[in-house]
Amino acid sequence: MRQAFRLTCGVATLVLAGCSVQVQNKTPDHFQVNPDIGMYPITASVTSGAMVSTPIYLFDVAGGKKVELKPDASGANFHTMLPVSCTASFPLQYLAVWRLQGVATRQKLFPAQPIMVQLTPPPLTEQAAIDTSGKPLKGLWQGNVPYKFVMAADTQITGAKIEPVSQSKADVESAKMIHIVSTFPIDAPCNAKTPVVLASKDRNAQANLVITTNMPGVSQWTTKVVFQPQPTE
């Protein structure tokens, strides 16, 4: 009986009549990083031949873990939420497991080699306001400019400098009032606010803080920093 089944399946395969399963990836090739959730929707559709028994099982196996995708009511569309954090991309490869008329188990990887899903980081801090309403400490108002990195387990802010926001005389003089207190490099753990400390001799001053990092694709970043009293309620 089993020998007859195997022969039938072999012939059916040759004529494309129903022993196989095909998986089509429906997951986008890129996502905007969502560091607060750290999970991304993985979706795929499955088609099968007439000799394939249900249920069909589908897993993502590319990241070193076997994550099962759940089918919808039709059994043709599968989905899961994949936890991913502190990386610029992640691999995706499906393992389909099925049975032929409830007798023989088959499995296959789709595609043969993992595909990479790219993650786009959110922008770093673009503007920062430092409150100078209080009294200065030793003639200086001090504050932090926070940065949050989410594309690697550890990032370094390797250096920084102060530049005027424009070449006008007022902005050049204003930038001279501000200096960097922090020393470098600064280690920045993933998804943690990492401050660069500044100080100003003037209660009202502004400048650009230009940091350098070892983050791929963001070797330099500019933040406009304004020292000024904040309005009280």
The per-residue pLDDT for range 39-65, each reduced to its tens digit, is 999 999 999 999 999 999 999 999 888
Residue 8 falls in which region: left (phi positive, over 0), alpha (psi -120 to 50) or beta: alpha
Query: Tokens 């009511």 sit at which residue?
Result: 73
> Hey, do 2-120 and 127-228 end up sharing a CATH topology, with the first three levels equal?
yes
The DSSP 8-state label assigned to residue 134 in this structure reads S
Task: Sketch the domain layout of the chain as residue ranges.
Answer: 2-120, 127-228
Phi, psi (5° rounding) for residue 7?
A: -65, -45
The per-residue pLDDT for range 72-106, each reduced to its tens digit, is 999 999 999 999 999 999 999 999 999 998 789 99
166-to-39, 169, 172 alpha-carbon distances in Å: 41, 8, 7
**127-228 CATH fold:** Immunoglobulin-like (2.60.40)
The per-residue pLDDT for range 173-198, each reduced to its tens digit, is 999 999 999 999 999 999 999 999 99
* DSSP per position, 197-233: EEEESSSSEEEEEEEEE-STT-SEEEEEEEEEPPPP-
The per-residue pLDDT for range 204-232, each reduced to its tens digit, is 999 999 999 999 989 999 999 999 998 87
**2-120 CATH fold:** Immunoglobulin-like (2.60.40)
